[in-house]
A and B are shown apart, each in its own frame.
Chain A
């Protein structure tokens, strides 16, 4: 079966750095996506990785290792507005997105 694993919940302090991990086992791989979802709102796109390595976009970076079936989302200089759920999703060989259950990130002052 296909599976995406990520921690259920994480807590971090305002101004700090947090890393949210995602491991996957899917039938084929056509890229990995990270989305942010604030409570009661739609998921919004953060990043896309298809090749190994680190993609940096402002305070957010995403890393991929295809050989290990592993990705992480790195958030720097945390702000209170970063409190949200972060969803990891992989496109399989049929171009279907397989989703993780999301990581709820709580930012404390």
Chain B
């Protein structure tokens, strides 16, 4: 595997379910990110981990819970979601959380909440 991978690619869940999204990067990077992408809206940054420490939580509801066990893996735990949480969830990584470092994105998980 190369680059940034995400599983599952598609997920349908009910509002009472609990599920987790997984992201893995094979680039030796130290920063990882979760974004939400809704149609015709800008990418919304949710969480940032830099050297395994959470550095950003952009007022994300507590029904989304991130976990970063090491610099290569990032999880997003989901519980009691709402239909408006349906979106594409993108994971990204970069060398560090600094100025010129570009972010490399995974293919995303298309989430539908019924």
What is the interface of chain A, defined by CB distance below 8 A to chain B?
4, 8, 30-31, 33, 41-45, 48, 50, 87, 89, 91, 95-102
Contacts and interface: CB of A to CB of B under 8 A. Distances in A.
Nearest to A87: B43
B105 A43 contact: yes
Contacts of A4: 42
Which residue among B48, B56, B103 has the maximum number of chain A CB atoms within 10 Å of its CB?
A: B103
A48 B100 contact: yes
A50 B103 contact: no
Interface string B87-114: 0001000000111101111111000000
A39 B90 CA distance: 14
Nearest to A41: B107
22 contacts: A30-B100, A31-B100, A33-B102, A42-B90, A42-B106, A43-B43, A43-B90, A45-B103, A48-B100, A50-B99, A87-B43, A89-B43, A91-B99, A96-B45, A96-B48, A97-B43, A97-B45, A97-B103, A98-B42, A99-B42, A99-B43, A102-B42
A100 B42 contact: yes
| Main SS at interface, chain B | loop
Contacts of B43: 43, 87, 89, 97, 99
A30 B96 CA distance: 14
A101 B41 contact: yes
Interface string B26-47: 0000000000000011110100
Contacts of B56: 96
B100 A50 contact: yes
B42 A31 contact: no
A31 B102 CA distance: 10
A44 B103 CA distance: 8
Contacts of B106: 42
Contacts of A102: 42
Contacts of A42: 4, 90, 105-108
